[in-house]
Chains A and B, each alone.
Chain A
Amino acid sequence: MDSGHNGDFAIETRGLNLWYGDFQALFDVDLGVKRGMITSMIGPSGCGKTTLLRTCNRIIERLGYVRTTGSVFVLGHDIFGDDVELVQVRKQIGMVFQRPNPLPISIRDNVLFGFKLHEARLRKVSAAEEDEVLESSLRQVLLWDTVKDRLDKPATGLSLEEQQKLCIARLLPVKPQVLLMDEPCSALDPAGTEAVEELIWRLRGEYTILIVTHNMAQARRASEECVFMLLGRIIEHGRTEELFLSPEHSETADYIEGRYG
């Protein structure tokens, strides 16, 4: 265990700065995402929400010109530590992307992808167990009844809403503790948005969820805490009702009243 972290936090960043080349995208970000809660993150486009999320599972490192300072603790452990295995970090943090990105393989293979990668390499997994994992994951995201007859069909043939649910389902067999969602509903129609939102609400408690959204109503409805970001900084972080009813900062008030783009 690293010293000095706060055990209540699933994700904690301290003095996190991030640069894309010379452009600084995050400034001194101190964020604590409480365990077992849904935290929403709002802020205008380009304020660094996606960047912050991608830093938490270190997917951002793919870009060679990204540089960070400060630290990020996930479940109490510094993910920039020397002995950190990225695979282990990413198993604990599942991410749902803005555009649904199912792999171009069957629905079954999509859901079992992570499971096969991790479990099936350690021990012999029976076909029955795979089917069980498949069914329970799809049931959890309310997709089982829709797809149970076409499990071997390509996942890319599903509707966007179903694809996004599938993208959530495939994270579950790996048993992550944290789910990061980057505007998961922005590619969906209103009905799809509602369905996925309902699903996220169902997952509350079992997982710590950090969800980025442009939809103020969604943040209000579906989160317990809310973070407001602007130009790479966290301006305000508090209980959702309080943040919306009596924001401390004028920038927050301006944003939630729709005075920013």
Chain B
Amino acid sequence: MFTATPLNRRSYRNQSLAKAVFFLMTVVLVIPVLLIVGTLVVKGAPAISWEFLFTAPTDNMTAGGIFPALVGTIWLVVVALLASVPVGVAAALYLSEYAPDNLLTRTINLAIINLAGVPSIVHALFGFGAFVLFFRMGQSILAASLTLAIMTLPVVIVATRESLQAVPQAFREACWNMGATRWQTIRKVVLPNSISGILTGVILEVSRTAGETAPIMFTGAAMFVPFLPESVFDQTMAMSYHLYNVATQLTDVPEELTFGVALVLIAIVLMMNAVSIGFRVYLRGMKKW
């Protein structure tokens, strides 16, 4: 009575086929990632040492370490975070919590999403024109970080808005209904319930900028600075730009060193992702619903 009919068998065949195709696609996706990371580790690991991490390059950057670039990247990302997070979160709060849901708001939202697709080299030119020249910041960490910040603003806004919108509308209505103002509602209910998502999303997005080269190339990154930056007005080396240089601009750089730089760069980005995910797990544990 419960044996398979021909129709059952056909459905079953289709379903196995679909499963096989999806599995294959997943494999196709995973292989390049494994290859990249594998190559980097195999070829780059021998270069990694305390000395590599904590000394400056020597011999026309064909030997020595990466310390100024490492520190420079941290400066760039942190200053970019400080600039884009307050603006992006405030804009997202306005768009999601205050702005009426009308054509104008929807147009702005669409524009922001599209802005995220602007190529980074365009941001670079904008940053050069606006920050370096017009605002006379010169080539500096400040100009480079602001360029990165502008570039990440759309994704910061989108990530924040998504977290805000994940807070059930019923919570907001419950608050308004008791006579809370918009701001009281945001402060007491919306933010406490979305802050973990916001922070994670934002850190995740901004940490990607650690790998960006184009936007900082004209605005603040230098090929070689033998000392560490002391303020945001200094020029600095950066990991991504350093990699670009050792890989393509200089000759006689040992392959091992190039891959070592790449490996550290990837490790920085992954580490920041790990931190933000750990942060999310921690905050989620504290959440009461």
Residues of chain A whose beta carbon lies under 8 Å from any beta carbon of chain B: 57, 59, 62-65, 87-88, 90-91, 94-95, 97, 99, 101-106, 113-114, 117-118, 154, 156, 167, 170-171, 174
Contacts and interface: CB of A to CB of B under 8 A. Distances in A.
A247 to B, nearest CB: 33
B73 to A, nearest CB: 38
A90 B179 contact: yes
A65 B178 contact: no
Nearest to A156: B289
Listed from nearest, the 6 A-B pairs whose CB atoms lie closest are: A64-B100, A104-B289, A114-B178, A101-B170, A64-B102, A64-B101
9 contacts: A59-B176, A62-B101, A64-B100, A65-B101, A97-B174, A103-B175, A113-B178, A117-B180, A170-B178
B171 interface: yes
A63 B173 CA distance: 12
Interface range for B? 20 to 34
**Highest count of chain A CB atoms <10 Å: which of B170, B173, B177:** B177
Interface of B: 99-102, 105, 168, 170-181, 184, 188-189, 193, 287-289
Contact of B171 (A88, A91, A104, A170): A104
Given A64-B101, A65-B102, A104 B288 contact: yes
Contact of A103 (B101, B184, B189): B189
A174 B174 contact: no
A242 to B, nearest CB: 33
Contacts of B99: 64
Nearest to B188: A113
Contacts of B168: 101
A18 to B, nearest CB: 16
**Highest count of chain B CB atoms <10 Å: which of A57, A62, A171:** A62
Contact of B288 (A87, A88, A94, A156): A156
Contact of A99 (B170, B175, B179, B181): B170
Given A101-B170, A154-B288, A90 B177 contact: yes
A63 B101 contact: yes
Contact of B174 (A62, A87, A167): A167
Given A101-B173, A104-B171, 7 more contacts: A59-B177, A62-B176, A64-B100, A65-B102, A94-B177, A101-B171, A103-B189
**Highest count of chain A CB atoms <10 Å: which of B168, B189, B288:** B288
Contacts of A88: 179
B173 A97 contact: yes
B289 A90 contact: no
Contacts of A95: 173, 177
Nearest to B168: A101
**Highest count of chain A CB atoms <10 Å: which of B100, B172, B174, B178:** B178
A154 B289 contact: yes
B178 A90 contact: yes
Nearest to B170: A101
B101 A174 contact: no
A64 B107 CA distance: 14
A101 B99 CA distance: 24
Nearest to B184: A117
Nearest to B178: A114
B164 to A, nearest CB: 14
B177 A57 contact: yes
B96 to A, nearest CB: 12
Contacts of B178: 90-91, 94, 113-114, 117, 170-171, 174
A43 B188 CA distance: 36
Contacts of B171: 101, 103-104
